[in-house]
Amino acid sequence: MKILRYALIFTFLLSSNSFSDEPRFVQITENDFLELMIGNYVHGFNEFETQVQVTDKEVIIEVYYDLHTQSKARAISFKKRIKIFIRAMLSSYSWEKRNKVRIEIHGIDRTGYGY
């Protein structure tokens, strides 16, 4: 039991970054930042499958709904909600110059997918 305890403490000490004096930074591009922020908002609903792409000229959000269990009207309502929020989010960043937000809705047949 003592050996296990010492092994756990030793493993923790080796894997811990808190003993390092070097600060660690991660640098990301504006597109990556926007993809992260918009993706967190859009994916957070968990109602539809979504995909977010940010290019230099536009933001593309794809919404996928199941043809058998979800309604297209609900997907269109979701599209309207997120479009308003995304435009407001983009206007809050002074460095953001994209003014095109494209949201596409796709119906997919999940018959036989296993869930």
Give the chain's residues under pLDDT 50.
Answer: none
Determine, yes or no, domain membership for 98: yes
Determine, yes or no, domain membership for 8: no
Per residue in 72-95, pLDDT (tens digit) is 999 999 999 999 999 888 888 888
Instruction: Give the CATH number for residue 55.
Output: 3.30.70.1350
> Which residues form the domain of 54?
27-108
Determine, yes or no, domain membership for 7: no
Number of structural domains found in the chain = 1
Determine, yes or no, domain membership for 1: no
Distance CA 89, CA 33 (A): 12
Determine, yes or no, domain membership for 16: no
pLDDT value at residue 45 = 86
Cα angle 66-69-71, degrees, rounded to a multiple of 5 = 75
